[in-house]
Amino acid sequence: MECECAALLRLPNRSTQSNRSRSTNSGTPGGRIIVDLSLRLEVSKVPAGALCGGLGSHKLPHPADHQEGKEPRTLARTCAILHTPRMNNLNANDLLHLLELARAGRLVDAAQRLGVEHTTVSRRIAALEKAVGRRLIHRTPNRWLLTDDGEQLLAHAETIESTMHAVAELGANRRSSSLGGTIRVAAMDGIGGTLVAGALVELQRAHPRLEIELTTATRRFDVSYRDYDVAITLQRLQSRRFAIRHLTDYNLELYATRQYLETHPPIHSLEDLAGHTFIWYVESLLDVPELDVFEEIVVTRRPILRSSNIFAQLAFVIASGGIGLLPRFLVVDRPELELVLPDKVSLRRTMWVVVRREALNLARVQATLHHLSVHITERQDRWIGPATTQHEWDA
């Protein structure tokens, strides 16, 4: 027998009728869910565990469980939240306010994205916490973070949002072949400011009504951040919440200007590197293990010129400040730069594209993935290096 939780959590996958409300019986006593265009969900109060037959035993597919043969996770925590005696209704719009705060981390930023006052965001989340009888967020010195209960509810908030976007896209696509809405892409600095930016320009030209936000940083991928639809990262995540696919490999190699090489001791071997100035990241700020390799593969001492930004490192090299370990796609159109010991120092790294599973089938996400793949494939040999076998989405 299906509990009220199951009906509520399966709601985003049900088709809704436009311009009028619909009610359905769940097959349980007094079990009725009313859905209207404001996405207000009303669930009859049910004693905890009365219909699920025990919170620990009830199971149903979670939004992240799309893999054939996988055991659905137990939704004991979610059932416990939804069956709390203090909850007599749940407003889905409040869930979307919680989702935006989780993405932005700050009330003011979340409010700006939603087009409301920050006091509205605070009030909505307070109402949601009162409805479920649980603390959903807590404040840190830098941002608001979700509690465990907040994380549990957020996966379903994301499913509701994705369903809303899919319905909006369906209506828009019937009127025009051009996609609308906003696509948010997060990427590493180097590839984000070159190949990804180029691909997104082509995407926008193909879909003039589509708005695009690109954020770049050199940091470890944080699964708690939700300020993206598509992310490009060096980290191959191991999480059932995400769809992950190989995007491209690229080479890191040593480069210097002809002027620098002519005015400094010649370099014929790895031992000759000891007397030269090197350019790399600020180690204390580098939170990407895949790039924490300089002393291992180049020289066993700290670089003299350091920056947290790959484009600043490139500027140091172009100014003849020293030798930099740079990705090929940054220097391909820089004839003043020369390779240093290419047969001795060359490091291959992999970029992965990451999408939340519930957003994978959205038209604007699929269009973004297509343009990224085509743009990079067309430039693979010259900008990046020989192509490797492409991977399917990780299971």
CA–CA separation, 311 vs 188, rounded Å? Answer: 12
Residues 267, 149 share a domain: no
Range of the domain at 288: 248-349
> What share of the chain has pLDDT > 70, as a percent?
69
Residues 215, 331 share a domain: no
Provide the domain count of the chain.
3
155 or 338, greater pLDDT = 338
Q: How far is CA 175 from CA 17, 37, 168, 169, 179, in A?
A: 19, 21, 11, 10, 10
pTM of the predicted model, to two decimals?
0.60
Residues 372, 340 share a domain: no
Reply yes or no on whether the pLDDT at 40 is more than 50: no
Task: Report the CATH number at residue 13.
Answer: 1.10.10.10
The pLDDT tens digits of the residues spanning 299-351 come to: 777 788 999 999 999 999 999 999 999 999 999 889 999 999 999 998 899 99
- Whether the CA torsion 187, 144, 152, 76 is positive or negative: it is positive
Angle at CA of residue 288, ends 283 and 290, nearest 5°: 105
Indicate whether 181 belongs to any domain.
yes
Task: Report the CATH number at residue 330.
Answer: 3.40.190.10
Indicate whether 318 belongs to any domain.
yes
10 or 388, greater pLDDT = 388
What single letter denotes the amino acid at residue 13?
Answer: N
Indicate whether 230 belongs to any domain.
yes
CA–CA separation, 317 vs 123, rounded Å? Answer: 51
**Are the CB atoms for 255 and 340 separated by under 8 Å?**
yes
Residues 148, 30 share a domain: yes
SS3 66: coil
Question: Dihedrals φ, ψ of 268, to 5°?
Answer: -120, -15
Residues 223, 258 share a domain: no
SS3 286: coil
Of 109, 138, 162, at which residue does a domain stop? 162
Residues 241, 192 share a domain: yes
Per-residue three-class SS string for 87-100: CCCEEHHHHHHHHH
Residues 236, 102 share a domain: no
Indicate whether 168 belongs to any domain.
no
Which of 206, 251, 213, 202 is CA-nearest to residue 103?
213
Residue 240 is predicted with a pLDDT of 79
Of 128, 162, 196, at which residue does a domain stop? 162
Indicate whether 171 belongs to any domain.
no
Q: If you write DSSP's letter for every residue of 326-391 in order, what string do you get?
A: EEHHHHTT-TTEEEESTTT-EEEEEEEEEEEGGGTT-HHHHHHHHHHHHHHHHTIIIII-S--PPP
Residues 133, 122 share a domain: yes
Residue 89 is predicted with a pLDDT of 61
What single letter denotes the amino acid at residue 124?
Answer: R
Residues 252, 107 share a domain: no
